[in-house]
Amino acid sequence: MFMGEFNNKLDTKGRMIVPSKFRDDLSEQFVITRGLDKCLFGYTHEEWSRIEEKMKSLPLTKRDARKFMRLFFSGATVVEVDKQGRINIPQNLRTYAGLSKDCTIIGVSSRIEIWDSEEWSDFYSDSEENFEDIAEDLIDFDL
């Protein structure tokens, strides 16, 4: 399980250090792709396989399902953790998530998310104000 929040820098070549707390679970290689809310999602190969199986059940006759699958899978790439604990994030994904120099990496249960730190700060501030309302809406899920 991934949890926590870490700040790191993106170098000029698009490399970023993966927090050591996450590296053991992610292994030497893992999958990153376009996420929601203008961030990147990172998955272990095992979790990626589970998601892929679920996506196969989406109806091809639904336009939104086709669009989502195209965007989600076309952005996916396997990244390799180097000896310094860094991954190289492709330019198309850096552009999508608006990653500049300062990045925030968070653990969200079965995945990690990579955010531009300013975007994360804005998202967090907006969401924090509504945290109780969000929790109340989710109470039906026995949380």
pLDDT in 10s for each residue of the chain, 143 residues? 999 999 999 999 999 999 999 999 999 999 999 999 999 999 999 999 999 999 999 999 999 999 999 999 999 999 999 999 999 999 999 999 999 999 999 999 999 999 999 999 999 998 888 888 878 877 766 55
Alpha carbon of 7 to those of 18, 118, 123, 132: distances in Å? 10, 11, 15, 26
Q: Is residue 123 part of a domain?
A: no
pLDDT at position 140 is 66
| Greatest distance between any 2 Cα atoms in the chain | 46
User: What does the buried/exposed string (b/e) look like for 4-39 if buried means 16 or more CB atoms within 10 Å of the residue's CB?
Assistant: eebebebeeeebbbbbeebeeebeeebbbbbbeebb
At residue 137, the pLDDT reads 76
List the structure tokens of 78. Answer: 């396997």
pLDDT score of 11: 97
Residue 129: what pLDDT? 81
Q: Is residue 57 part of a domain?
A: yes
**99, part of any domain:** yes
103, 9 in Cβ contact below 8 A? yes
What CATH number is associated with residue 56?
3.40.1550.20
Q: Is the dihedral of CA 22, 103, 125, 64 positive or negative?
A: negative
Residue span of the structural domain in which 57 resides = 2-116
**Domains: count for the chain:** 1
Per-residue pLDDT, 136: 80
- Answer whether 0.75 is exceeded by the pTM: yes
Residue 122 belongs to some domain of the structure: no
Exposed / middle / buried, residue 77 (Cβ in 10 Å: 0-12, 13-18, 19+): middle
* pLDDT reported for residue 29: 97
